[in-house]
Amino acid sequence: MALTNEQWTEQLQASEDPDSLYPDAPEYDMPEGAHTDYEVADDDHYDGDEGDEYDDGGEAFGDYADPEEDGDPGAPQGLVEVPLDSGEHDEPQRPRRFDGKIAMGFAAAGLVAVLVAIIGAVVVYGSDEPARPTAASVTEPGAVPPTRSAAPKPAAAESADRPLPYSADAAGSCAAGSTSAQTMAGADPHSAFVCVRGGADGQVIEIDLSKTYMITAISLTPGWVGKDASGVSQWGQYRVVTTVQYLFNDTDKTMVTQETKNVHGEAVQPIKRVLASKIRILIRQTSRPPAQPEPGASPTPTPGGFNLPAPLTLAPLPGSSLGGQAASDPVDAAFAIKSLKIIGHEPL
pLDDT, residue 36, reads 59
Q: With pLDDT > 90 as the criterion, what percentage of the chain qualifies?
A: 41
Q: Residues near 178 by Cβ (< 8 Å), separated by ≥ 6?
A: 170, 194, 195, 196, 334
Half-sphere exposure of 295 (CA within 13 A, CB side): 0
Q: At residue 204, does pLDDT exceed 90?
A: yes
pLDDT, residue 324, reads 45
Report the predicted TM-score, pTM, of the whole model to 2 decimal places.
0.49
Mean pLDDT of the chain: 74
Q: At residue 160, does pLDDT exceed 80?
A: yes
pLDDT digits (tens, 9 = 90+) for 256-288: 999 999 999 999 999 999 999 999 999 999 999
Q: With pLDDT > 70 as the criterion, what percentage of the chain qualifies?
A: 54
Q: What are the extents of the domains in the chain?
A: 162-290+331-345
pLDDT, residue 215, reads 97
Q: At residue 199, does pLDDT exceed 70?
A: yes
How far is the first Cα of the chain from the last one, in angstroms, to the nearest whole number? 143
Return the top range by mean pLDDT from 19-28, 37-46, 118-127, 220-229: 220-229
Residues 221/267, Cβ–Cβ less than 8 Å: yes
Residue 301 pairs in a beta bridge with: 307
Q: Would you tell me which CATH number, out of the four given (2.60.120.260, 3.90.1530.10, 1.20.1050.10, 1.10.150.20), belongs to the domain 162-290+331-345?
A: 2.60.120.260
Return the top range by mean pLDDT from 132-146, 158-172, 213-227, 316-330: 213-227
Q: For residue 121, name the pLDDT band (cuts at 50, 70, 90).
A: confident
Least confident range of 118-122, 155-159, 164-168: 155-159
Q: For residue 150, name the pLDDT band (cuts at 50, 70, 90).
A: low
The closest of 225, 295, 314 to 265, measured between CA atoms, is 225
Least confident range of 116-125, 168-177, 245-254, 280-289: 116-125
pLDDT, residue 27, reads 58
Q: What is the DSSP letter of 98?
A: S
The residue ranges of DSSP E strands in the chain, in sequence order, are: 162-163, 167-169, 193-196, 204-222, 240-248, 255-259, 267-287, 299-301, 307-309, 334-345
Residue 88, burial from CB neighbour count under 10 angstroms (0-12, 13-18, 19+)? exposed
